[in-house]
Structure 1
Amino acid sequence: MKKKILLMYISNNSGHHKASLAIEKALHQRSANVETMNVNSFNYTNPVLEKIINTTYMSVIRRKPEFWGYLYDNPEIVKKTQRLRDGIHKHNAEKLSNLINSFSPHAVVCTQAFPCGMVADYKKKQNLQLPLFGVLTDYAPHAYWIYDNVDAYFVPSKEIATKLTSNGILSDRIMDTGIPIDSMFNDSKDKAHIFRTLGLDASKPVVLLMGGSQGVGPLKEAFTSLLRTKTDFQVIVVVGNNKAMHRWFNKQIKKSRKKLIVYSYVDFVADLMEIATILISKPGGITIAEAFAKGLPICIIKPIPGQEQMNTDYLLANNVAVKIEQPSNTGIIVEELLYNRGKLNELCRKARSYAKPDSADAIASTILNSIS
């Protein structure tokens, strides 16, 4: 009989989704005796609530990001929202029960705190002996992850493991595997082929500008600043699902004095990172882990308060990235790095030293061993 693994995340094309897909891929690479189901938990249990939460979240981080910072990992907010979360879990219990009873998983893996809490609460109320694994995809172990009924946590670093133990999680339930990323980031790529395919000049530097799955952040300001530099380099921009941003950048292609390529959401980020000289991005956990795997220097731009600021704090404390304080200074900082090869090479070295490209495989191995 095949081992059934239920994977749960929130929001399609998000970092949580990519992590879930990476683990799913690793499970199948590890064993032919595996059956998986990958579920967007918000959409499955309450599609109306998913739309409300996603719309509200995007509105808050665009208009009042400091408010999100206040809500994120705030002990008072955690306490005050406990009853609300209990109510949501109760409302979702029937659909979750139907899912678990119909699929009959041997284990559940959650790459976001909401489904992890929902399943942990369900386990407790049903007195269910179902292995539950929580996978943290940011260097920010907020209080919404803490549950007694989670059998094990996979975390990005030893520092995060220490923070979880300080919140009462037993150390033998925590594994420092790194953030799960697709195994393609561990593959060696033919750079010359990628340059030819994209129509880029292999002799010139490439600046990769990314705005995450939603294409948020000061991408226009950063790009405008890059154009003011005299240094000859090429620019690749990935704007995610932001259609307005995609239209704006497409208009810049003919105007730009530098070679410019524009993408929306892509599934070949590994190729883009392979040929990039510098990454300019918001500091999402998955993006950071992918850049580490490629030994790519990271320039952080406009982190939102909350998980992105905590990721930034981690990177800067370990000297693994450079922060661009003002988007208008992006060009200056990039130019300085391109001229200072020693600094650039040191950032490459540091990134590689923090890389855990086999993270998804390590997680898959642990899960399969636990249910064998």
Structure 2
Amino acid sequence: MNQTPSTSTPQDLLILSVSAGNGHVRAAQALAAAAATLQPACSATHVDAMAHVAAGFRKVYTDWYIQLVNRAPELWSYLHQKTDETPHSATSQRLRRAIERVSAGDLLREVCKARPKAIVCTHFLPAELLMREQQKGRLDAPIWLQVTDYDLHNMWLVPGMAGYLAATEEVAFRMRERGLPADRIHVTGIPVMPGFSQPEAPELARSANVTRLGLDPVRRVILMASGGAGVGDLPSMVEQVLALQGPGCDFQVIAVAGRNAAAHAALQALAQRVPGRLVAIGFTQEMERLMAAADLVVTKPGGLTISECLALGKPMLLVSPIPGQEEHNAGFLLEEGAAWLAYDAIGLGYKVARLMAMPDKLGQMAAASHALGKPQAARRVLEQVLGR
């Protein structure tokens, strides 16, 4: 997707994300991909706001966040709670926004050059910056804010937006209770890529994708796509579950290491030691097909990842939630019966073994997941924003 707005042709839609974690970017990419399928055509451009801010600010905002949640989760939990309780009018919040404005001059110029008819932000940072531009009369395009988790934090309560796009009715309720205008709140779900938007399509059939991967379609398949802090790295997690014994433990595993080359190499070596039981995948753009092959998905509860699982009706075993937003995402799924939670490495092995021994329970969780899924969320967002 083109990351530089045109300076000559106005855009129907400008989508702004922030690469602090990957979920906000993936939601923006999903909206851009869905816009390309609309009739009549919709010109849409996705811009990562972090590509147009001062280098020092970008490093603090993205690298600091990732290091903090990995190395000091207790501190992140405190900060998440503290900022949720701090009103936007507080001195600390005003100072934060002033620093952001000083660092984001290039971003604001890019937005002006794009001349968009509408703007969707998948992170609160660009929404806050553009709100001020609108208040100063320097921007007249309507700005929409897409919340990308299954709970609501104070930072998402940016006043003056044309509309607020919520994952669930509860998130919409929380928006209203915390003062956002009810007539601007819309329950759309969280946008997922078009590959997840047609769960009944033949290319997403479980058996076809299991066979395509060289696995046995009769035996159940676990997709493991996360090795967060607290439960060990992905190769050790996979090795642990493959060593399980007992009823139902003859399952197969698809392990996705992403861009972690060391983890991918370790998984490939492990696959050689357990022939026919493990498929090791590195970076992939076919996650929907891998997920379609799975009977259970072991993952961290990021807002976009679980939205993809829900779109395909997949039961989940959640590991290592980041304090704050991911813990709240996990709570939502547990309450609705679509997931279990493993608190540590021991719990991971125990709960995988238990679920594999209870196919009826897996089926109930899959049904709950399917009921929660919103595979057409991206299109619903575009319908609201573009009035189509």
User: Given the two structures, how large is their TM-score scaled by the length of structure 2?
Assistant: 0.88
Asked whether 1:222 is paired with 2:237, we answer: yes
Matched, 1:27 2:27: no
Q: How far off its partner does 1:226 sit? A: 0.4
2:216 paired residue among 201, 205, 230: 201
Q: Indicate if the aligned counterparts of 2:230 and 2:320 stay in contact, CA closer than 8 A.
A: no
Other structure's SS at 1:37 match = strand
Q: How much identity, in percent, do the aligned residues show?
A: 27
Matches of 1:113 and 1:215, distance apart in 2:
26
Contact 1:6–1:109, Cα closer than 8 Å, also in 2? yes
Is 1:253 the counterpart of 2:268 in the alignment?
no
2:177 to 166, 171, 191: 166
Is residue 384 of structure 2 the alignment partner of residue 361 of structure 1?
no
Say which of 42, 49, 53 aligns to 1:45: 53
Q: In 1, are the aligned partners of 2:57 and 2:103 still within 8 Å (CA)?
A: no
| CA distance 1:345–1:243, change in 2 (3 Å) | same
After superposition, residues 214-363 of structure 1 pair within 5 angstroms as 218=232, 219-230=234-245, 231-256=249-274, 259-363=277-381
Query: Per-residue deviation at 1:194?
Result: 2.1
Given that 2:252 and 2:277 are in contact with CA atoms closer than 8 Å, whether structure 1 keeps it comes out as: yes
* Secondary structure, aligned partner of 1:279: strand
Structure 1 unaligned spans of 5+: none
State the alpha-carbon separation in 2 of the partners of residues 221 and 117 from structure 1.
41
Match of 1:14 among 13, 19, 22: 22
Please list the CA deviations of residues 61-104 of structure 1 after superposition, one character each: whole Å capped at 9, or x if unmatched: 22111111111142249646413322233214532332122110
**Alpha-carbon distance, 1:309 to partner:** 0.7
What is the alpha-carbon root mean square deviation over aligned residues? 2.4
Residue 152 of structure 1: aligned partner: 163
Give the equivalent residue in structure 1 for 2:5.
none
Structure-2 residue corresponding to 1:87: 98
Shift in alpha-carbon separation, 1:64–1:133, aligned structure 2, 3 A? same
Pairwise CA distance, 1:3: 5.2
Paired AA for residue 210 in structure 1: A
One-letter code aligned to 1:43: A
**Structure 1 residue 28 displacement after superposition:** 2.1
Q: Using the alignment, how far apart are the partners of 1:256 and 1:210 within structure 2?
A: 19
User: What's the secondary structure of 1:211's corresponding residue?
Assistant: coil
Contact (CA 8 Å) 2:310, 2:373: kept in 1 or not? yes
Question: How many Å separate the matches in 1 of 2:180 and 2:119?
Answer: 19
Q: Take 2:40 and 2:302, find their aligned partners in 1: how far apart are those partners?
A: 32
Distance in 2 between residues matched to 1:261 and 1:360, nearest whole Å: 31
C-alpha displacement of 1:8: 0.5
Q: What secondary structure does 2:43 align onto? A: strand
**1:283 touches 1:312 (CA, 8 Å); kept in 2?**
yes
Q: Which amino acid aligns with 1:67?
A: L
- Could you give the per-residue CA deviations for residues 205-231 of structure 1, whole angstroms, max 9, x where no partner exists? 11111128x999633443233022122
Confirm or deny: 8 A CA contact 1:295 1:351 kept in the other structure: yes
SS in 1 for 2:136: helix
User: What is the one-letter code of the residue matched to 2:321?
Assistant: P
1:62 alignment counterpart: 70
Distance 2:124 2:20 in 1: 15
d(CA) in 2 for partners of 1:129 and 1:216? 47
* CA separation of 1:180 and 1:160: change in aligned 2, threshold 3 A: same
Contact 1:302 1:327 in 2 (8 A): no
Tell me the SS of whatever aligns to 1:109.
strand
Contact map agreement 2:231 2:344 (CA 8 A) in 1: no
Q: Which has the higher helix share?
A: 1
| Structure 1 contact 215–245 (Cα < 8 Å) conserved | no
Over 3 Å counting, the alpha-carbon distance change for 1:101 and 1:53 in structure 2 is closer
Q: What secondary structure does 2:36 align onto?
A: helix
Equivalent pairs counted in the alignment come to 369
SS at match of 1:126: coil
Measure, in 2, the Cα distance between the counterparts of 1:50 and 1:97: 15
Tell me, what secondary structure is at the counterpart of 1:72?
Answer: helix
Alpha-carbon deviation of 1:106?
A: 0.6
Contact 2:222 2:253 in 1 (8 A): yes
Structure 1 residues 88 and 45: alpha-carbon distance in aligned structure 2, compared to 1, 3 A threshold: same
Is residue 2:193 matched to residue 1:182? yes
Q: What do residues 99-157 of structure 1 show as CA deviations (whole Å, max 9, x unaligned)? A: 12211011111111111212112212336332001001111211111122211011100
Deviations 1:140-178 (A, max 9, x none): 211111122211011100100111111110111111111
AA at the equivalent of 2:73: P
Secondary structure in 1 aligned to 2:148? coil
Judge conservation of contact 1:215–1:238 (CA < 8 Å) in 2: no
Unaligned runs of 5+ in 2: 1-8
Return the alpha-carbon distance in structure 2 between the equivalents of residues 73 and 242 of structure 1: 31
